[in-house]
Amino acid sequence: MNAEIPLVVASHPDCRGVQRAVDAGLDCVSICRKDFSDIAEFSSAVFDALRLKQVDLVALAGYLSLLHIPDDFRHRVLNIHPALIPAFCGKGMYGHHVHEAVVARGAKVSGCTVHLADNEYDQGPIVLQSSVEIPDGATAEEVAALVFDREKIAYPEAIRRVISGLFEVDGRRTRLISADTEADA
């Protein structure tokens, strides 16, 4: 993928992602929700930092703070969720909580969903979903490992789709338009 990472924004200064970003030589800043009086002020600080670096596309990965997406970043913020939305999503459904709920429910499949972020948890238009079968008797940790392996494939593919120039959003639906259709237009 022809991309550069001009900035990593962490929601907590002590998360694993900060050290990984620093080790990779990336510019990293921590902007913590608790340091702001409300979500609007917090979101403004995050997007101001992204604007300074002229970021084209934001890829959230393990970012646990709700953000209010400003108009100039509408449809330019991706998030990945470790389940097949609309199942096992929303406030409080992240990380191990998702996989524990999947196992407790006895689900036969799980997976991941890459979606465009909006101003609610896990409600934006879906870009891509990828499923995994859950073996009988699997633990939450085993489900998490299966889903994570799928996330490593799905997220880059979703990014490719969004940056392809052949991606469009129509309400809550997304689609890839064919290059042939684009050439005919």
Q: Which of 81, 96, 99, 115 is catalytic?
A: 81
pLDDT tens by residue, 40-95: 999 999 999 999 999 999 999 878 788 999 999 999 999 999 999 999 998 899 99
pLDDT at 155: 97
Q: Three-state DSSP class for 133?
A: strand
Nearest-angstrom CA–CA distance, 131 and 32: 32
pLDDT at 180: 64
Question: Is 108 inside any structural domain?
Answer: yes
Question: Is 73 inside any structural domain?
Answer: no
Q: State residue 7 phi and psi, 5-degree precision.
A: -160, 140
> Are 127 and 179 within one domain?
yes
pTM of the full structure: 0.91
Q: Give the number of domains in the chain.
A: 2
Q: What is the CATH number of the domain that holds 173?
A: 3.40.50.170
pLDDT at 15: 84
Q: Is-contact 135 142, C-beta < 8 A?
A: yes
Question: Is 164 inside any structural domain?
Answer: yes
pLDDT at 91: 87
pLDDT at 64: 78
Q: Is the model's pLDDT at 185 over the cut of 60? A: no
> Are 153 and 112 within one domain?
yes
Catalytic annotation on 68?
Answer: no
Give the model's confidence band at 140: pLDDT under 50 very low, under 70 low, under 90 confident, else very high: very high
State what percent of residues in the chain have pLDDT above 70: 96
> Are 41 and 90 within one domain?
no
Q: Three-state DSSP class for 129?
A: strand
> Are 178 and 105 within one domain?
yes
